[in-house]
């Protein structure tokens, strides 16, 4: 009885981990697809000669 309960707990934890990994994989895949689309857009702008619009302006640190 105790053994069966432990097995069920382990299976439950494994199923939860599997679900989390699939969700993480899906999110990473979607993020890569967005990045790919953004890069394709930038590439087409560069090839057509139109200037790129800076959506995010970053202020870097000066290393002097």
Whether 24 maps to a domain, the answer reads yes
pLDDT digits (tens, 9 = 90+) for 16-27: 999 999 999 999
Label residue 6 by pLDDT band (50, 70, 90).
Answer: very high
- State the total domains in the chain: 1
pLDDT digits (tens, 9 = 90+) for 26-53: 999 999 999 999 999 999 999 888 655 5
Rounded to 5°, angle at Cα 61 from 52 and 36: 35
Whether 23 maps to a domain, the answer reads yes
Show the domain range for 32. 14-45
Whether 21 maps to a domain, the answer reads yes
Whether 50 maps to a domain, the answer reads no
* CB 42 within 8 Å of CB 50: no
Look at residue 29 in the predicted model and tell me its pLDDT.
98
Whether 5 maps to a domain, the answer reads no
């Amino acid at each position: 009885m105790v053994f069966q309960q432990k097995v069920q707990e382990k299976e439950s934890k494994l199923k939860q981990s599997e679900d989390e990994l699939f969700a993480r994989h899906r999110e990473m895949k979607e993020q890569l697809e967005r990045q790919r689309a953004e890069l394709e857009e930038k590439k087409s702008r560069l090839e057509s000669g139109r200037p790129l619009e800076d959506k995010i302006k970053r202020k870097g640190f000066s290393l002097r």
